[in-house]
Structures are given as C-alpha cells and as structure tokens.
Structure 1
C-alpha cells in the first residue's frame, strides 16, 4: 500500500512500519476518530494460505480478548478484497531489542520496571488461558514514556490447543524457545515463563544465552545446556536477580515459577535481598524404569550345552562373536516387531461419538474433542438470538454421531444477537420513531425538556449515537422530546395595581394589555379581572389581559328649577340726603325754591346674574347673566349624584336677591 491511499474507506496510509513473515504493518490515520493507528495486513502471497489466515485470525481473536495497558490494543478486525487486516494501537517508540542495543547497560531498577510491566500483561493473557508462545524482545514495544506493550499474538494458542510445531519447522523465535517447545511438545504457561527468563537474561547481559549456526543447533542447546550465569558476565548483578533468571529458565517446567505473578513478586524483592544464596532446583525422582524381558534361562543353558565340533580358539572367538551378533540382531528385530505391533494396534483409528459441543467456547471444544482424539475443523460464525457470542451453536457431525478418531468436527459459533445501525432521530416526531424502534425490538424511554425553539413532541436528543451498532433486544434507547415552551401557572392578580401588573408581566415575559371599567366591588386602580384566569397554564411570551377598576359608576339626577326673578324699578335722586335735610330746615320759600331745583331718575333695567353648583358647575362660576325689564323666569338645569343636592344664588345689580343650598330633584 502506498502513502495517502485510503484503506477500507477509513484509514489513510502514511508509511510502512515494517514487513514480517506473515503480514505488513503500516502507519495510518483513522479518518473518523482522527488518531494514528497501525494497520496490519496479510501479505499478498499468503492471502490464499489457509494456515496463515487461521494464524492471522488467531492473533486477532487472542488480542481482542485481552484488555491491558501493557498489551497493544486492537481496534478493528476484518477483511477487504480478500485481505485479512487488523487495526491496532500505534506505539511511537521502538521494540525492546532496539532498546537493549541503544540503552545497554540498563540500570537494574529499569530492568525490573520493564519486566514487571511485561509480566503483568502476560499474567492477564494466562488468566484468559492464552499462551503467547513467541515472547521475544522484537514483540515487545517500548513507547516514548518507557512503557512496555506486548504485541504479535500470531501463534498464541489456548491452553487446550495442541502443539503447533510442524515437521522440520519451529514456530516462534528459537533464541527464546522453551526446551519442551524445542522437543516438539505442547507449550504451557511455563513455556512463556522460560521465554521471559531469556528476555531478562538479555536485558542484564545485552545478548542471548545460546547462539548457533542453525536453528536446530540453538534449539538443542535449550534442552541440553544450562543457561550461562549472568554473574559470570557481570559480578555486580545481585545474586537474587540471577536467581530469577535461573528459576525462570529451568529445564524442568515444574521447577520454574508457577505463574507470571510469582515471578513478578520475586522481581520486586530482588534488589532488597542482599544475602541471597544461589538458587538450585529441587531434585525430583519421577517416572519408572521399564526392563525388557530376558530370554528363558533354561533355553539359554540348553543352548550352552549343545555339542559342537571342536574348533580352534580363533574359530571359537569368531563363532562367539558371530553368534552374539546374530542373537542381537534377532532380539532387536523381535523387539521392533513387538513395538511395531503395539504401535499399529494402539494407533488404529477407533470409532468414537462426537461430544456435545453446544455452549462451549472454541478452546473448550478443542479440549473436549482432544479427549476423544478428534480435531476441530471449520469454524463458521453466525448470529444467534439465544447463544452467547463466542459459544458454539452446533457441530457437524452432530453430538453422539459416530466417527473415526483423528477426524475433524466442524462447528458453528455464535456471533451473538443480530445488530442494527442506530439512525439519527433528532428532528423526527417521537410517536413515529417510538413505533418503529419498538417494532425492531428496542425498549424506548422518553424524557421531556422545555424548548422555545423546538416544536412540541419533536425529538431533541438521543442517548445512542447515530451509526452505532447495537442489539435491539438488549438496548434501551432514551429519546429527549420537546414539551414546547416552559409553562407556568398564572397568579391571581386580584388586588394588583397597574404598576404591580406591569412588573409581573415583565417577570414572566408576557405580552400585557390593560383596559379600564367601573366596578362597584373593586376599588379604583385595582385589577377587576384577568385573562387567562388565575391558575391557568401559560408559556413565556403569551398574552395577558387585565381590567383595572375605575371605581363605582355613580347614577345622577337631572332636573330643572324655574325661578322667577321680579323686576324692580329703582329711582335715583340728584341731591344727596344731607343737602335735602338742610333745605328742610329753611323756610317755605326757600323750601319751595329748593324743591323746584332737585330732580329724580328712574332705572328701567335690572342686571341679573345666576350661579349654580352641581356635578358640572361650580357656585363661584357664572352660570347665566341677563338684563331684564320685567319679571323674568330663569330655568336652572341641575345634574347631581343620586341622593345629593345642588345650589344656586341669584344677584341683581351685584346684590343677592335669592339663594338655595339644598336643591334636590323632588
């Protein structure tokens, strides 16, 4: 694959990271999650090699079962255009082999820290009954922070699997191979412990313990020669640390550490044990010696007493040697015939019944089949609504069917329940989506949320992202649905003033309209009624109408009073009264003279002014002015509140000639 190529419509290839015997690895960018990843693709020339494909799939299966910070994570597994691929965590750094070359000598505490991380990861794998089988520095990555991560579970097998050693071929790196693997025996958890001991040896010395011209010669050394002492290479290495190498690389698996955890605990204490003695394995006596049967004693004696012709001493020696040789050949041939017969008799395939594999995992099935001397055949995977993912649904031949030993049994393995892709339901109507999802088998839960912008019953959010694949019958999907604008209960505004109503409308965000009306029961200036009524539900931005009291609407009496104002003639004299008195004291002559000289004037008009007081007039304000020359009627119109009275006053030439302060309708 070339740089910038888009693989599987998701991964942009950046560069090649390396080429292996089974697959090529590339650095790529995950275009969806925007992160660097390592894409491992099966080599072109191996795409039709079923053994390699099985091995590649085994690695994917083994790794996906393991979640640990010191194991390289697998993000995606699949097949594109016939190519098997895995997408893994990208570890920026280099492998432990390169690390040892660059950093040697490595401080003991750093060695222990790295080995502790590796052991922690191996412990998790062993807890899942997965044996790596190919632990070596090249399969351990060291990131930029110094963290170790195990990768390449390509030949990892479950505990119950048979050995994968093939004729003339040793799988795994021979420099780190356990003695039992080198002999072709089945690998166990303690085989991984042996490889870890060799890795620890290399970290302490900078080299592997055994070298040779061929893989076979190196393998022979693993089960024939003791691992060299690391203290002979560097006497400053603590004896307690060398003891861990010695115990981990013991030829007898039972003498090694029982688990990765036990080895890790020993490592954690190694630098604090100052006076440790050199470790030696316990001496075990096991097994039994089988002795071949000897020829019948009497027959032997009879043979010795058989008469023979006399011969010379040299001839006797030659004949004796020839006889011994002949007897030896016969015995070997006889033994071979016996052994061959036993082998043929015991190796002839027997007929066995296929065990019930339903509900088992692949590892369990292999173990169960091995007990019957059967092998696991083709594995087909399909969805099942009743059988858990990874468990076997059925087998072919079926359980209890009779077949010959060494035959293969095909199995159908459950991929779990069928999954469907969740769609984007935001913006859709809740009732429609709920009906569709429930038909598909989902459990739908509803949450409501107020919104000023989203229409009521429209879906606002979903708790499972669009594009996720889920099992409907096992999934509860929660939809957040708009309940429209937030509603609140209107207060009773009785007794509120205009100002109070305006403040409340501002508080709730209502559009306010105010009108006025008379009320005999509500004081002027207070709310008479409201719409919507008190206790009604209302949303922000709704309309609120109130009517403010104008107070009581009082009734009035309207009536008219006719007042007749008499005309009054007024005489005006030209002399004053004092002059007249003086004249009256004179004699008649003078009086007569005086009278003839005085004169009188008579006024023929009266100026009349009228003032009234009622609802529309004030007593101090002129109501009517009229000049009269005779008696004249004045009509006074009054408007007064019911039960109340009016007033009037009439002036003639500025003098009050009539008034009434209690003018009523009746």
Structure 2
C-alpha cells in the first residue's frame, strides 16, 4: 500500500486525482487524496445508460491525457475502468486509483503469474498473463469508449473469467451495428484501440487522443456560410416617406462637416491644430513600435519552427514488449537500438530493461540499449544499485563501491542537468557478478537551437 501511495504521489496532472500524503492511523495505512466533488463514470453510465458522442469523446480525451503523463513517467495504470474515472461537478475528468499501477520496469507484480485488473476492461495480453504495457491501458480506454457509446460493455458472459477469456478469441460487435449514429471515424478509432494484437493499437496515449479528437472533428458537418440577401430598394410615396412631424425634423451634419469647437482661451487656431497633429504623431510612433515588435516575434517563432533544428523525442517504454515490437517503436521514434541479451526468467525475446529511462528527452538518432531475455534463469549475483538521477562522479563511486567496473557513454538530452545519469545497463536491482561492467548513460546538453519536440510512445 505504501508503494502505491509513493508511486501515485510522483504523478501530477490536471486529469489525475492528486495524492498528497501517506499516513498510518492506529496501524492502518492510509493515503491523503484530492477530494473530487462529483460521481464516477460508472455511476453516470448506470444512471444514463449511454452518453452523447461529444461527451464520450470529451471524457476519453481527458482520460488519455492523464495516461500520457503516467506513461511518460514510465508508469502503467493496469486497471483503467469507469469506476476509476471521476467526473467532477464542474465537468473535470479525474483518473483515480493508481493502486495497482506499476513502474514499467518493475516486474515484481507479474512474476508470480498474477493477473491484476478488472475483467471487462483487461487487455488480451493481461488475460494471457503477459506483462501489462501502456498499450494495455489504451485497450481499456477503447473498452470504456465502447461502453459509453453503446450503453453496454464490449463483452458479456456469466462469470468474470468467461468475460476475460472471450477477448482472447473474439472481437466485440461492431459499434455502429449497436448504435448507428456513432460517426464512422470515431468507431474506427475505438476498433483500433480494441485490437487483440498490441502492435495494431495506437503507439501512445497522445496518438490515440489526437486520432479520437480528429475523427470527431472530421465527422461534424461543416457550417455553411450565411448569405445575406440584398435588400431591395423600395420607392415610397412622399406622404409615407416623411415623418408626421416633418416640420420639426432637425438636419444633422456629418461629423467632419460639423463646426469645430473654438480653441482654448489664449491659444490661437494654428497652435491648436499643431498640438493635435503632435498627439497623432506620437500615437503613430507607438503603434509602429508595437508592430515592429510583433513582426520580430513572428520571425523568431518561424525560424524556431522551420529553422533546421534537431528534433527532440521522448524515449518510449520498451520494457514488456518483444524485441521485434520494440525495434519498430524505436524506428518510429527516430531512435536506434542495440540488443543486449541476458539471462532472465521472462519469456525469451522479451525486453526487460533499457539503458535510458522511459520519458527521457533525447535527440533523434540517439542509441538505446535494450536488455532482452534469452529465457534462461540468471545465476545468483549482486544487486546493481540504482544510480539514475545521480551525477556521473557519484554514480561511478557507488558502482565501484558495490564491486563493479563502470563504462560511461553520453547522450544529448533535454530536461535534465548535464552530467546527470539518465540510464544504466544492467538496470537497477538486476543482479550481476562482482567485477562485471555496468554501463551508465550520462546526459549532455542538446545542440543549441534544437527546435521541434516529438512525443515518444508511452
């Protein structure tokens, strides 16, 4: 429970219910959470049956935004369901209960063979006992979207186990056969999120959010421009054209032709005109100055966007994927990977570590080492200390004091101080033999003028 609280406290996002503290009351562990005045999505669905498309898209967008933040921090929720989505009275969407969330590099909750989650929203890979990944959370979001729009869950059966097993061999009924007014582009986004093969789903929560919002926007009818019919000129009889009190009608001159007020006492007419012109001149100078500043700012922004800077990307979470899938993810992110095959109790070919922490901002083309299981149990050894976040000198001393040799490599990274360790291989708490080499990855400053930023896959 304390582990849950400490992990949740690391996350901060407008669409997450904040965790403020961990306490014990008469020996009972408790967490102090943000109070959300509202109802859960499960309660809303029980009351309303199904939601309007616009409301469902709004809720899912907030949910995906929260998951993006968690995935970027290397954390998978693993139990995304309507009961863990709060709808505040003011309309805010808040994701709660990261209680069984885990760091993407932490396998302690899966090595015992446990399947953790809620049957109706579990991804197929979770049902089959494989580790949950960010893609598993996206499947759960797809299931929630389906339920919000269809008014029923994607799969129904008599027992939770039967529900979970259905998704290994079946696809849900096409959403538009259940509810015909769901726009086809929106339905296609949901169907892709519910793909049984994780490789066929969206690669990140941000990609799915953009696809969902884009599909909804594309399905809205374009607003036709309003045309104003010309008002025909009518010729009225003179009797109708004149007002009843025509004799009292007062002529109004245009302002430009109206008599000007006399100059102030003691001020000649030419002097008054000159003063007025000076005021107008000063006003013109101010306007021209503001325009110059605006043009200069626009030029700087354009140069920053298109001016040949180096793209910066977030390192995806490779852990839990097969090496083949991880290689494809790296290619899409513009990164290169190197395989380091190691003994592990995990299935052969599964990535169980990476030398650069997920979410680290690095320049495109950077190299990431993936630690891949060869399927053989490791020999007993010494746990490798976690030196990520330490300065290079401190990390080197820590590893040498633990009996290891150290190899240092560098990567251009943003968002961290130069000289900070952003990754290591073997990873934290992996075992290694005394005298074995531990490689650490140290951040250097990205090149000046690096412009465009691209998000990585969660």
TM-score, structure 2 as length reference: 0.50
- 1:141 paired residue number: 86
In the aligned structure 1, how far is the partner of 2:59 from the partner of 2:161?
Answer: 30
Tell me which of 166, 177, 183 is aligned to 1:221.
166
1:512-566 Cα deviation digits (max 9, x unpaired): xxxxxxxxxxxxxxxxxxxxxxxxxxxxxxxxxxxxxxxxxxxxxxxxxxxxxxx
Change over 3 Å in CA distance of 1:397–1:349 after alignment to 2: closer
Tell me which of 24, 37, 42 is aligned to 1:92.
37
Task: Report if the CA contact (8 A) 1:129-1:158 is conserved.
Answer: yes
In the aligned structure 1, how far is the partner of 2:63 from the partner of 2:8?
Answer: 15
Q: Secondary structure at the match of 1:271?
A: helix
Corresponding position: 1:355 with 2:384: yes
Measured after TM superposition, the shift of residue 83 of structure 1 is 1.6
1:102-139 Cα deviation digits (max 9, x unpaired): 23332111111111111111111111111000000001
Task: Report if the CA contact (8 A) 1:197-1:248 is conserved.
Answer: yes
Corresponding position: 1:255 with 2:284: no
1:440-485 Cα deviation digits (max 9, x unpaired): xxxxxxxxxxxxxxxxxxxxxxxxxxxxxxxxxxxxxxxxxxxxxx
Change over 3 Å in CA distance of 1:272–1:76 after alignment to 2: closer
Larger RCO (CA under 8 A, 6+ residues apart):
2
Task: Report if the CA contact (8 A) 1:163-1:185 is conserved.
Answer: no
Bigger CA radius of gyration:
1
Change over 3 Å in CA distance of 1:225–1:85 after alignment to 2: same
In the aligned structure 1, how far is the partner of 2:388 from the partner of 2:36?
Answer: 37
- 2:156 paired residue number: 211
1:37-60 Cα deviation digits (max 9, x unpaired): xxxxxxxxxxxxxxxxxxx22321
Task: Report if the CA contact (8 A) 1:190-1:253 is conserved.
Answer: yes
- 1:60 paired residue number: 5
TM-score, structure 1 as length reference: 0.35
1:588-610 Cα deviation digits (max 9, x unpaired): xxxxxxxxxxxxxxxxxxxxxxx
> Unaligned stretches of 5+ in structure 1?
1-55, 276-285, 288-344, 366-387, 404-666
Change over 3 Å in CA distance of 1:348–1:86 after alignment to 2: closer
Q: Secondary structure at the match of 1:257?
A: coil
Change over 3 Å in CA distance of 1:213–1:169 after alignment to 2: farther
Change over 3 Å in CA distance of 1:102–1:348 after alignment to 2: closer
Measured after TM superposition, the shift of residue 250 of structure 1 is 0.6
Measured after TM superposition, the shift of residue 88 of structure 1 is 0.7
Task: Report if the CA contact (8 A) 2:36-2:88 is conserved.
Answer: yes
Say which structure is richer in strand.
1
- 2:60 paired residue number: 115
- Aligned-residue Cα RMSD (Å) equals 3.3
Q: Secondary structure at the match of 1:251?
A: coil
Change over 3 Å in CA distance of 1:351–1:169 after alignment to 2: closer
In the aligned structure 2, how far is the partner of 1:227 from the partner of 1:201?
Answer: 9
Change over 3 Å in CA distance of 1:273–1:349 after alignment to 2: closer
Task: Report if the CA contact (8 A) 1:355-1:400 is conserved.
Answer: no
How many pairs align? 252
- 1:182 paired residue number: 127
Tell me which of 11, 15, 35 is aligned to 1:70.
15
Task: Report if the CA contact (8 A) 1:241-1:271 is conserved.
Answer: yes
In the aligned structure 2, how far is the partner of 1:272 from the partner of 1:73?
Answer: 31
In the aligned structure 1, how far is the partner of 2:113 from the partner of 2:387?
Answer: 36
Measured after TM superposition, the shift of residue 166 of structure 1 is 7.2
Measured after TM superposition, the shift of residue 258 of structure 1 is 1.0
In the aligned structure 2, how far is the partner of 1:261 from the partner of 1:100?
Answer: 25
In the aligned structure 2, how far is the partner of 1:233 from the partner of 1:199?
Answer: 15
Task: Report if the CA contact (8 A) 2:193-2:201 is conserved.
Answer: yes
Change over 3 Å in CA distance of 1:165–1:217 after alignment to 2: farther
- 1:235 paired residue number: 180
The residue correspondences of 1:12-31 to structure 2 (distance < 5 A) are: none
1:574-621 Cα deviation digits (max 9, x unpaired): xxxxxxxxxxxxxxxxxxxxxxxxxxxxxxxxxxxxxxxxxxxxxxxx
Task: Report if the CA contact (8 A) 2:381-2:431 is conserved.
Answer: no
Task: Report if the CA contact (8 A) 1:354-1:402 is conserved.
Answer: no
Tell me which of 128, 145, 149 is aligned to 1:200.
145
Say which structure is richer in helix.
2
In the aligned structure 1, how far is the partner of 2:31 from the partner of 2:87?
Answer: 20
